Each structure stands twice: as C-alpha cells, then as structure tokens.
Chains A and B, each alone.
Chain A
Amino acid sequence: MSENLLDRAKDALTLAKKAGAADAATSLRRSREVITKWRDGKLENVSDAVSRALSIQLYVDGRYGSMSTSDLRKAALERFVGDAVAMVRALAKDPQRKLPDPSAYADRTRDDLEIFDPKLAELDANARLGRVRALEAGARGGDGSGKIVSVTSSFTDYTGEIARVTSNGFEGSYQHSYVSEECEVSVKDSDGRRPSDWSNASVRRYADLPASGVTGRDATARALARLGAKKVASGTKTVVIEARAMPSLLRLLIAPLSGSNLQQKQSFYDGQVGKRVASPVLGLSDEPLLGRGLGSRPFDSEGMTLKRRALIAAGNLEGYYLDVYYAAKLGLSPTTGGPTNLVVKPGTKSLDALIGDVKDGFLITAFLGGNSNATTGAFSLGFSGFLLEKGEKRQAIAEMNVAGKHLDFWKKLSLVGSDVYPYSTLRSPSLVFQGVSVAGT
C-alpha cells in the first residue's frame, strides 16, 4: 500500500515539474471512514466513504501557489496542473516562499507511534452495530432512564494513509487510524426544556475503547445532571474548568501563537517570548511523538521532522508555531506550523479534590459559543456547569458567561488537576482560576 501511494505522489511531482514548476511538493491521501448512527433502538444512518485527495505546492519563477483535487483522471489532472502553473505565473513574486531546508527533514523518528490499528480492517457491519447498540443499552440501563426523550449513538472507524514527496529530497508516508464512539442523551425537564449532554471516546486503536456501556452511562448521567439548570447572579468568582471543556479554551489560547498571526500583528504574544504570560503553574507543550496520541505523526505537513517543544514553561512564553514561510518573513527559524498534541502539564489533584477547595464558585463543564480576539486577547464565552459551595457541587447552572483577557486570565490560574481528558488532540486536566468575571442575572 505505502509504495503505491508514494509512487503516485512522485508521478504528480514529475507532472508539476514538467508543467514548469522549478520546485514542487505533493501530498496524496487515501482514507476510508465508516459512520454508523443509531437512534432509539433503530439504525438511523450508515455511511461508508472511500476517499482520496492530491495536493500540490507549486514554486514557479519565484512565485507560489497551491492546488488540490479529488479528480485524478490522467487527462484532467494534467490539464489542472497546467492551469495551476499558469495561474501562479500571474502572481507577484515572493522571495520568502521556499521548500523547507533539507536539514529539517533529518532525524525523523523510527519509533512506532502506534497510530495505526491494522485490526480495524476486520470490523464488519455487525461489529459496528454491536457498538452502537451497547452505547444505547448503557445510556438506558441506569437510574433515571425514565426521563430520557431520545438517545443517539454513533460509531466511526477511520483508516488512512498519507504520502508526501518534495523536489528537494523529502519522501515520507504513514498510515493512521482512529475509532470513536459517541452517545448523546436528551432528557425532559419539568418546564418543557429538553437538555442534552453527551459522552464520547476517540482512540487510535479499537482495543483502547472503553468497556461496553461506560460511554452511554456517562452520557445519561451528564444529561440528568442538567435538569433544573438555571442562571444565577453575576460576580467575580473562583472557576473550575473541567478537563473535557478545556480543548475549546486551549484552541483560543494557542491560535495567536501562529506565525501568520504574529507577522500580521494579530497576536497578543508579539514581543512576549521569555516573558511571563501565565501563572507559574502552567506548562504547555507540543508533543508530536506521544504513543497512540490523536495528533501524533512523524513529520508535519511540510515534511519537517517533528519533536517535542515547550510553548509555555512555568508561565513563561517559550515558543511559537512557525511554518517555513512565516518564519522566513519574521526572520526566525521554522518550528512547525500548527499543533500536533497540545499538552497541559498535569498536577496531582483529582477533580473532586479541586472542587473540594472551592468555597464559592463555579464548575464549568461546557462552553457554549463565544469567541476570542487574537490581537488584544479579549474573550467572552458562554458556559454551563454547576454552582460550587463549601467544596461541593450544587445547583446545575446554564445560560451564563465568562469573560477576560488572556494575559490577565491565565495569570489567575491557581491549580492544575491530574485528570487529563484523553479524547482530544488538546490534552488538559481540569484547571482552577481565581477572581474570574462571570455574567448571569
């Protein structure tokens, strides 16, 4: 399989060179994804997709452009590459556009990252149906199931392969896979609202899925806990953010670390390297080589060898996400253009222990909408969760909002939990912040 895909990527490279590109890089992807959806005792939807895509980066007469296509018919592809080269010739020159220096391709890991599960090929329709049935059985098997309005379960299995070649000597390919299951449960509240919540698991290998029933049970427990939610008074409070809610907040925190944000003056991190940007208890790193990590890979989208890098160490800013182009524009060395596995360094306390220390505050279990300004660092996010009083979880709350400015907010981080949420490429435990502005009534 690998040889074949690499060979076809090389064919595309030859085509690009023949069409007039001085340099080029080609990436070819092939995948199969099967999604099985089950609702209230019945199959809802099954989709089976075998897909492929070719993308080419073209460096023509000091100019740059890119193209991608799913139409790989020989004649159509030749014409498309020819058209794309002609398009690039019409652009302004850009001296900063180059392939990575070949030294960036060196020392690629030879370790097995365990990101591919060959056993997924053996999955059949019955096995998939077994998983979604088990999700629903788990959801309906516990106390309070009489309040359930609907249970939707889904199971997804994906296998794929990526091959990349460049005209300055890079060649690489890898296979990857994931399986995920998700269960969403809606329950009926006394006032006609139908709050819902979900639980999921997403892993590289089938054997790493949780035991049957766990995900469904968790979804129902979470949905039932939403009953009777209300909003309470605005204030400045201690806020615990549950690990599962952290990925959406982390995404906002790291977006301005990108080279394009920095170079375009749309980053509150501009000029902050080496400076304190967060509380000393925050450690944040990019870890591409984690075994079975959902974001793990041996090389990045430009072919550069990936290795672990600190982004924030003891609250100090240590590094950016720089691709080859924006690094050149900024006069810096490229790192890699975006996150692989983003890891918040865990602490030692469980979520219950973190909650136990809070006299008066909130537990945020989910964010709802909101946004963040990468230039100024101002953010405002809706949330739902629970009121915390005297170290205990009380009233469910909803329809509330939290706001701040990143460079202030992250300095208010006081404690880091031990409960890392594993089913995301952004891996964080629960975090505790002091003195946060919360809006309600």
Chain B
Amino acid sequence: MHDSKLHRRDLLLAAAAGLVGCTGTTGTPSASPPKPAPLPPAKTTPGLALAYFAAFGVDEKLIREGLSAALEKGAERADLYFQHRVTTWLTLEDGEVNRASTSVDLGVGVRAVRGDQTGYAYTEEIGLDAIRNAGATAAVVANGASRAAPESFRVGELPRRFPAKLAWDGVPVGKRLPLLTQLDTKVRAGDSRIRKVSISLGSEHGAILVVDSEGRVFEDLLPMAQLYLSCTAEDKGRRETNGYNLAGRAGFEFFNEERLARVAKEAVARTVILFESVAAPVGEMPVVLAAGASGILLHEAIGHGMEADFNRKNTSIYADKIGKNVAKDLVSIVDDGTLPGAHGSIDVDDEGNAPEKTLLVDKGVLATYLHDSISARHYGVKPTGNGRRESFRFAPMPRMRSTYMLPGPHEAEEIIRSVKKGIYCSRFTNGQVEIGAGDFTFYVKNGYLIEDGKLTRPITDVNLIGNGPKVLERVDMVGRELEFDDGGWTCGKNGQGVPVSLGMPAVRVSSITVGGRKS
C-alpha cells in the first residue's frame, strides 16, 4: 500500500498467490456462443425497474438523492456506480480440495465532473444518508451554483455479450469440486515427472448499475469464470514449474470437458519441455511472435500510449501522431469491447457508454485514441466505450478491452523460415511500459531458438525490451490466422486492475533486444 502508484502501467497474467510463471495460451477464442438474449424495450420512470439492485434497496429516490448531492456545487456531470460481486475460490493442493474463500463487494461510487476535474467518493453502505454524504464529498471538485438531477431516468438496453447459462449463484460448491480433482488426475497422468499440482477455480457472480446525470441507466450482469493451474515437475534433480491460466466472462458451463482436457495437456507440455531449455541469447535479433498471447506486444507497445488521458495530458509518445504513419501498411490494430464471452469484453463501459471495435492503427496509420467521457469531451469526439474501473472504489479512466492485430498476408511457416538466427515466442507472463519514453518489456515463458529457419531448442524466462514506435515500424510480416488468448490477463494502471484480452496473428519483428544471459 505504500508503494508508488502514479507511474505504474503493467500487465500481468493473474496468478494465485505465490505463483509465478503461469502462462496464457493460443487456441480458439474463448467464447460462449454469441446469442444476445431478447430484452425489454427501454422504458421511462416513474417506477424505475431495476432487475438486480432493487433487492439492495436501490430505487429512484436513492439515485436522485445521490446525484443531487454530487451536483449541488455546480458539477457539470455526475454519475453513480453501484456494484455487487460475490467471488469464490476453491483450491486444490496435494490432491485435495481443502481450501475455499469467498468474498462480497457491495458499494456505490459517486463521481462529480467539471471539465477534466473529478471529485470521487464511495460508500459500502447503500442508504440515503450514506449516498448523500458520498455525493457531498465528491461535489467539492466544483465551486458554483447547484444543478438539478435529471427529471426522469431511462433504463438502456444492453447486448448481453456474456450470458451465463449456468449462473454461479446456482452452482453449489459440491458440484464444482469434481472439476478440480479430475483436472488434477489428468495432469498427474500426463507425465510421470509431475511432482506438484495446484489448481484454483474462481467464480464471480454479480452486477453493476451505472446511472448518470443525463438520466441514463444501465444494469448489467457480470459473470466470470477463472482457473489457475500450476504444476512442478522433477527430472534428475532439476525442477521446472509452469501452468495454465484461463478466464472468460461466463458461468459454470465455461468449464466443459474439452476445455479442461486441453488445459491439462497444455500445462504438462509447457512444463516438461522446460527440461530441454537452454539459456536464451543476448542482444538485438529478429523475433517471431506466435499467434495468440503475443498480443501482449500491442498492449504494451501501443495500447497504453493510445489511452487518451495520456494524450490529453501530452505525456504519451503518441501524443501528436494521429493521422501519421506508425507502421507498415500490413499492420492494423484494434481494441474491441465486443467479443462474445472474452475476459476483456463489456456490454457497457463503466460510465454508461457503448463499447466499440476501435481502430487504433489502420493500415499503418494511427487512427483513434481510446476515450473515456472526459477525454472525448476534451477532443470533441464520441466516447469509444473505454471508460473502465476496477470497482466502485475507483473513478473510471480510459482502459483497453481486447487488443489485437488484424490478419495479414503471410503463412506462419513462411515467417519462421525467413529467420536465420533469432527466437520464437509463444507464452508470456507479464509486460510493462513507460508511456512517455515508449520503452516497454514483455516476459517470455515459452519459446524456441530459430536457427536457419527452423525451431530448434526451447528457451524460457527471458524478457524482451523495445521502444513502442520503433518496434511497430519493425513488424514486417503478419500471419493469416488471428488467434485469441484465453488467459486471465489483468491490466494495471494507476493502481487499478481491470480484465483485458489479447489476440494476434503470427508476426515477425525484424529486430528487438532479447534479454537472455551469458552463462
């Protein structure tokens, strides 16, 4: 809690406590089938109908009081963000599921906005006095005559991109336990050298309610399914650890047999291959990034730098580059909130705006920043639906959702064949970026040496470091097949973590610094 928060922008593949080195995966996009549920048409109060939060005592009077308090000093806009979330983890270790933890988050955040200034407060009590106090605290950012709360409220329709077929609140713990024990058995059966397996299965059940001073109301259910698996193998006294990290916005149905079989197989393969690994090379060289989790490159090299708050403040390396060429014309990059069931998907952003598929780079040309409502006003554009927050305890800011590169003209084989001496990287654990200088890193958990156009010996535990704009210019081959990673990536910025997703076709970066070691 004492560590500096201002300057942090990093991306982590979330891991159970003490676990380092879980990786994401390539493979099919994580998704429940895209079947938007039918919705009632938008309607107008009186009689504001809240499907979820009415049970928590949230009604029109409470909402009106909260907004009125936030607007009483003349803020231009205000919003309320109610959240209820029940998170449950079950953990298997040494063959037994003998640990469970469950937590409840309930509260409401009140925000008052004047220009690009924000006042924020939250309360964990849902009640008239509590919300009035929070509103009055947030209101102090302004200094003028009171504004009125809206006359009426409209409940907006949502696309329901991640309906839970088996909602978590209806799945007792007893039904979840066999998933862990069966997975444990599969992993141990996968290789006789596996010594330790730990598995954590997590669920989130809950909803958010966004209400703003325009009278817009959105209530959304936010299910989440998560799995962390780590295994340690031992061979002739040498130990290696790796694992699998899986997450999606879904209910219990997410953990189907096919998916779990793939997790077990992959986790074992990623671990035992490390016994053959050699020290990674040192210095600048060509790097081939596999389709899938390599989207971490985009997240760090350009994604953060395109978040409009950094550009509004003139502190991003991309601050004056809109409309300029930043990459070869085979490179197009999007940030997309609309993928069905993806870890980084949303139905509505955390200030009530619809998410888009936002084009960051269009055939090599820098196209659009990622906006929240404050930066959209600053630039006089429509918000892109990137206003997100960790929880009701935080004010929103521009954040990525699912970031990926569109497919290009090359075959993956052809890309590997083109490299005489370099490395190939497929699994990653984390990355970080300095927004202003543009320098970024990402950490490779699984990869190979490329020698004379062929993958030869495996490598692991090597950091790659480059400069965003320079590396983008050096992406000179792009594969035909776009793959999405199904890992539970958490993006950290200014002390707030939000779920995001990554995708990528195979690409070649003609040169980047590889941080191996001379042994």
Whether the pair B2, A294 counts as a contact (CB closer than 8 A) is: yes
Shortest Cβ distance from B353 into chain A, in angstroms? 20
Shortest Cβ distance from B342 into chain A, in angstroms? 24
Whether the pair A371, B102 counts as a contact (CB closer than 8 A) is: no
Given contacts A255-B18, A370-B515, contact A87 B2 (CB under 8 A): no
**Bound CA–CA A196/B437 (angstroms):** 7
**Bound CA–CA A51/B435 (angstroms):** 32
Whether the pair B117, A374 counts as a contact (CB closer than 8 A) is: no
**Bound CA–CA A401/B443 (angstroms):** 11
Q: List 11 A-B contacts (CB under 8 A).
A: A48-B120, A193-B436, A194-B437, A195-B436, A368-B434, A369-B442, A379-B461, A380-B516, A399-B439, A402-B515, A437-B518
Chain B residues 147 to 181 lying within 8 A of chain A, measured CB to CB, are 172-174, 177
Given contacts A50-B123, A370-B441, contact A378 B436 (CB under 8 A): no
Shortest Cβ distance from B317 into chain A, in angstroms? 6
Residues of B within 8 A of A229 (CB): 437
Shortest Cβ distance from B449 into chain A, in angstroms? 15
- Number of contact residues on A: which range applies? 35 or more
- Which A residues form the contact surface with B (CB < 8 A)? 39-40, 42-52, 63-72, 80, 83-84, 87-88, 90-94, 97, 125, 149-150, 152, 154, 158, 178, 180, 182, 184, 186, 189, 192-196, 198, 200, 202, 226, 229, 231, 234, 236, 247, 255, 258, 260-261, 264-266, 294, 329, 368-376, 378-382, 384, 398-405, 423-425, 437, 439-441
Binding site of B, secondary structure by majority: helix, strand, loop or mixed?
A: strand
Shortest Cβ distance from A190 into chain B, in angstroms? 13
Chain B residues 19 to 34 lying within 8 A of chain A, measured CB to CB, are 19-21
Residues of B within 8 A of A64 (CB): 98-99
Residues of A within 8 A of B5 (CB): 182
| CB-based A-B contact count at 8 angstroms | 300
Residues of B within 8 A of A379 (CB): 461
Digitize B254-284: 1 where CB-to-A-CB distance is under 8 Å, 0 elsewhere.
Answer: 0000000000000000000000000010111
Residues of B within 8 A of A264 (CB): 18, 93, 196, 198, 230, 232
Whether the pair B232, A370 counts as a contact (CB closer than 8 A) is: no
**Bound CA–CA A178/B5 (angstroms):** 14
**Bound CA–CA A376/B443 (angstroms):** 16
Residues of B within 8 A of A52 (CB): 124
Whether the pair A94, B20 counts as a contact (CB closer than 8 A) is: no
Partner of A265, one of B4, B196, B465: B196
Digitize B5-43: 1 where CB-to-A-CB distance is under 8 Å, 0 elsewhere.
Answer: 111001000000111110000000000000000000000
- Which B residues form the contact surface with A (CB < 8 A)? 1-7, 10, 17-21, 88, 90, 93-94, 96-107, 116-124, 137-138, 140-141, 172-174, 177, 195-196, 198, 230, 232, 234, 239-241, 280, 282-284, 313-317, 319-320, 393, 395, 429-443, 460-463, 465-467, 513-518
**Bound CA–CA A361/B469 (angstroms):** 28
**Bound CA–CA A200/B6 (angstroms):** 10
Residues of B within 8 A of A158 (CB): 1
Residues of B within 8 A of A437 (CB): 282, 516-518
Whether the pair A375, B239 counts as a contact (CB closer than 8 A) is: yes
Residues of A within 8 A of B282 (CB): 234, 403, 437, 439
Shortest Cβ distance from B194 into chain A, in angstroms? 11
Whether the pair B437, A439 counts as a contact (CB closer than 8 A) is: no
Whether the pair B3, A91 counts as a contact (CB closer than 8 A) is: no
Partner of A68, one of B7, B103, B239, B433: B103
